[in-house]
Structure 1
Amino acid sequence: MSQTAKATSPAPAPTAGAGTARRVGTVAVRIAGVVVRRLVMLLVLLAVVFAAVELLPGNAAGAASERGESAADLAARRHLLGLDRPVWERFADWMTALPTGDLGTSARGQKVTELLADPLPNTLVLAVSAFVITVMLSLLLGCWAAARPGRVGDRIISHTSTAAFAVPEFVVSAVLLLVLSLWTGWLPAVTVTGGDGRPATWTMLIMPVLALVIPQTGWNTRVVRGALADQASTPHVEAAHFDGLPLRRILLRHQLPGAIPAIATGLATSTGLLFGGAVVVETLFNYPGIGSVLAGAVAARDTPLIAGVVMCAGAVISLVLLAADLIRHATLGARA
């Protein structure tokens, strides 16, 4: 073959394996970028917590002081707690110990990890239970409404879900206490703990879980309904209607898969709202979670304990948001 023929011959087409490897590498880079962003957000959040507590009036030494203490005693306690050091230096020390699992020492001299050993699992049980129920109810109600666009059922679910999300958790809790405890006596008004620090009976979880589920179900039902409505106007869904496929099959096999990224993002966002609402709900129902720990820590200006609570909650929320990002990337990659 001549040199001219060699020069003009087409280059070999890339193999399927090379294309797959390139796509895998792209996805890996995106995932790494998402993980880095989540870690940076958590780091910024913790820095803001340290700065915010520093700006509050008073400090841990003053909150722990007893009546009649002298200025010298107060200064000694400030030095013992390290409050005479710059806040950035204390934050750096706390962050340096964090990779080893050390969340620092509270103003009362106890390890933060020990103080959170019992309340954190209780809050996780409450939040996970509320999250699972929210997912099931939101998908059920959103799909049911989307299958009847414009009908009475769709309008009822739309208005009810909007009203449910607009009502704060403390109002929902008050109504539940009034109806299910004071009026009917079906459920206990407060949570009583056993010797292991857990609620004495599972029925004590019902009202706190409902107080979290109702507002978040309202929000996510709207998200599911809107995501399915957006998918209803896509070409492949319209083609399925023209082909005469059953509405249920179109909804579950054509609309719902395309709506998964938006639904996953909405549900992941609810995780932070669930933890925020848990602080209020736990206080109202005397639930033994991190809500009461956080309230006491803020009152005592206990920065390491506040940061420990925020770190644990932020880690859980970041993991859920990361999972939602991975679901979104995997779904969009599969569709591409």
Structure 2
Amino acid sequence: MKILALPMFRRIALLVTLLAIVFFAVDLLPGNAARSALGREAGPAELAAKEHELGLDRALPVQFLDWISGVFTGDFGQTARGNSIGALLADKFPQTLLLGGLALLLTIVGSLALGCWWAMRPTALGSRILQPVSTVAVAVPEFVCGTMLILVFSLATGWLPAVTITSRSGFPAGPEMLVLPVLALAIPQIGWNARVVRSALLDVTAAPHVESAVLEGLPTRTILLRHMLPFAAPTIVAGYATSVGMLFGGALVVETLFNYPGVGAVLAGSVADRDATVVAAVVALTAMVIMVLLAVADFVRAWASRSAR
């Protein structure tokens, strides 16, 4: 438990530092939240009163400390327009979790299948094709990947919608509207993790217990599942842990591209409004989810390392 607690404390400290940087970076942008809330027609006196109401007339470190102290009690504060940030995130964040969760699931399934097949058949034609294809998949950003998917599957063929239509529940109106956003997120991570799985399995191949299993004539599937994957699991899980942050960070970009009803639109609007508290709240909530998933990955990796001994 002590081994797992230390990384968690480091991540919390890193999160607080990141939130401070975000808070200060938004303040450097021209304009402020009071001006965005009142509009250009507001006079100096009205603007000053709004800045006082929002606490913008205080020193920036004082604003940040006041906000971060509320976050630790579950209070994210209010937007410049007087709405509850907590209620706003509660309305939009489940959609982002759905998108990121589906992309993570597809990444795990797809990369495990491709990586295992690639490692067990290194000389096959498909393995030689996977080498350059996975490299390209890793190099292409989610935004570019999503654009290419729209060109092929929406504009060229008309098979899938390019824009997400929201139902009354706030979620996409149909499952077909999730396909392209999930693929745009998952394809780069599948390419990278397939290479991680392949490398981890190839490293285990030279182990004495694997060579003994091969000499005994055990089936390939048995060798893979019982003698290779358990020992390669710590490296593979570490790769998926890295992908967690990439997926949820990329989700904010992909949501904007596909007009997906998640926190991406909230983040874009808050940056436009120069509302530092909303921007920091989105970053904080996303980072908290990533930290929880990383803690789970640390536990699984530690368990796999002990089991493989």
Matches within 5 A, 1:112-151: 112-151=85-124
C-alpha displacement of 1:99: 2.8
Q: How does 1:114-263 map to 2 (within 5 A)?
A: 114-263=87-236
Deviates further, 200-209 or 44-53: 44-53
Q: Unpaired segments of 5 or more residues in structure 2?
A: none
Is the 2:118–2:127 Cα contact (8 Å) retained in structure 1? yes
**What is residue 8 of structure 1 aligned with on the other side?**
none
Q: What is the correspondence of 1:1-336 to structure 2 with a 5 Å cutoff?
A: 28-336=1-309
Aligned to 1:12: none
Note the alpha carbon deviations across 1:176-235, whole angstroms, 9 max, x for none. 212222222222221111222221111111111111111111111111111111111223
Q: Per-residue deviation at 1:45?
A: 1.9
The Cα shift of 1:236 comes to 2.2
Q: Percent identity?
A: 53
Indicate if the aligned counterparts of 2:230 and 2:308 stay in contact, CA closer than 8 A: no
Q: CA deviation at 1:166?
A: 1.1
- Provide the C-alpha distance between the structure 2 equivalents of 1:228 and 1:301, rounded to a whole number of angstroms: 48
Q: Distance in 1 between matches of 2:7 and 2:143?
A: 34
1:142 deviation in Å? 0.2
Q: Structure 1 residues 88-97 or 131-140, which shifts more?
A: 88-97
Q: Distance in 1 between matches of 2:94 and 2:62?
A: 31
Contact 2:237/2:297 (<8 A) preserved:
yes
Matched residues in 1 for 2:259 and 2:251: separation? 11
Rounded to whole Å, the distance in 1 between the matches of 2:67 and 2:176 is 39
Alpha-carbon distance in 2 for matches of 1:335, 1:207: 38
In terms of Rg, which structure is larger? 1
The list of structure 1 runs, each at least 4 consecutive aligned residues, that deviate by more than 3 angstroms after superposition, is none
The residue that corresponds to 1:22 in the other structure is none
Moved more, 129-138 or 84-93: 84-93
Structure 1 length-normalised TM: 0.87
Query: What amino acid is the match of 1:141?
Result: L
Superposed displacement of residue 62, structure 1:
2.6
Matched to 1:238, the amino acid is E
- Report the count of equivalent residues: 309
Give 3-state SS (helix, strand or coil) of 1:313's partner: helix
Q: Which moved more, 1:233-242 or 1:175-184?
A: 233-242
Residue 46 of structure 1 aligns to a residue whose secondary structure is helix
Q: Render the CA deviation track for 1:63-112: whole Å, top value 9, x for unaligned.
A: 33322322222222211111111222112111221232111111111110
Q: Which moved more, 1:42-51 or 1:211-220?
A: 42-51
Q: What CA distance in whole angstroms lies between the structure 2 residues aligned with 1:260 and 1:300?
A: 45
AA partner of residue 129 (structure 2): I
